Amino acid sequence: MVKNNKIVPVAAAFAGATWLARAAWGLPSQIGARTQSIAPYAAGSPRYRGRRFHNTEPSASFSASDGESILLSLMRRGATGRPQQPIPLAPPVAPVDAGESAVTWYGHSSVLVEIDGRRLLADPVWSHRVSPSKTVGPARLHPTPISLDGLPKVDAIVISHDHYDHLDKATIQRLAGLQNAPFVVPIGIGAHLRHWKVPEDRIIELDWDEQTEIAGITITCTEARHFSGRGLRRDLTQWASWAFAGPKHRVFFGGDTGYTVKFAEIGAKYGPFDLTLLPVGAYDPRWADIHMNPEEAVRAHGDLGGGVLVPVHWATFNLAFHPWSEPILRLEAAAEQASVTTAVPIPGQRLDVSHGFAGDRWWARLG
């Protein structure tokens, strides 16, 4: 007969092992391609040296000397970074014909860009967590505003880099079946897509300042100041921002990046832009080189020759230590001082820049 005091530790150990197994399930596939599969494609880039990609400007992905440790910050974070009320969702709106200059924001950096009658889907992430694990890692603060099979037909699917909050295996595989559009990605990321069984003829890999034309829209891979990595090794694949140019309109998609003087060069070469989609959240002094804060986003918008600034990379996943609405409060102040026009959509909301839009400080009601 087994005594109760013997059963409890065994049961706890079994439960712990079960949880670990569930958390680790599918990790290799989620991580993506191995180094040896990526390297042959990456090796052709002048930014690839010493078996990794590099920023033009010296950049640290983390500075341990500034402030308290990450562990201590996590212990103290509590509910910081989460709204006090549920985040609202806008009802899906997708005109039969794509607009001239419009964007639908689905949360974080996932956007549907309409430009001169074409549609481009950028950084689509529909999973509940941005992590290699389905049970551990940052989870959504709001549901996806629309299902993947509810999306309209798109002409291209564009990825900025391979971090989990921008490149999601489940979303990519589902889109590969639902859509016929090509995937346009920075150099090296094609290896992840091939690993996930995306057909070779639907993968277009570009380095900075390379471009492709799809359905009359010129898609240019432009510089960003960031890093990459899905496993233990970093910077095996390139990271990028993107310039979309139609016959009449231009849109800039920042994805995720720190501020860089290269924005002025991008604006001079590929702008001006009717619309800039720029990251404003998940900033911290410890990674200031590779994540912009709201004031830097306003500055980048000016460098790019932007018309209307729509903030992305906030509200959906709690990835830093600042209050939930702080990015937009700071953006408001900086934009007003610089006389920059901003539009802050509710997740799922479509903004038609060519027809104007009504402002609503919806985030201020959530606390």
- pLDDT tens, the chain, 367 aa long: 444 555 545 444 444 433 344 445 457 899 999 999 999 999 999 999 999 999 999 898 877 655 677 777 777 787 889 999 999 999 988 899 999 999 999 999 999 999 999 999 999 999 999 999 988 999 999 999 999 999 999 999 999 999 999 999 999 999 999 999 999 999 999 999 999 999 999 999 999 999 999 999 999 999 999 999 998 899 999 999 999 999 999 999 999 999 999 999 999 999 999 999 999 999 999 999 999 999 999 999 999 999 999 999 999 999 999 999 999 999 999 999 999 999 999 999 999 987 877 778 999 999 7
**pLDDT score, position 354:** 78
The architecture CATH gives domain 101-365:
4-Layer Sandwich (3.60)
**Bond into 279 cis (ω within 30):** no
Contact 345, 312 (CB under 8 A): no
**pLDDT score, position 169:** 98
Terminal Cα distance for the chain, rounded: 56
Lateral strand order in the sheet of 211-214: 211-214, 217-222, 241-245, 250-253, 273-279, 306-312, 341-342
**pLDDT score, position 41:** 95
Looking at residue 353, the DSSP 8-state letter turns out to be G
Contact 286, 64 (CB under 8 A): yes
Q: What angle do CA 315, 317, 322 make, to 5 degrees?
A: 70
The interaxial angle of helices 294-304 and 326-338, nearest 10 deg, is 40
The secondary structure element, H or E, covering residue 170 is: helix 169-178
Contact 94, 131 (CB under 8 A): no
**Rounded Cα–Cα distance for residues 43 and 225 (Å):** 20
- Specify the length of the chain in residues: 367
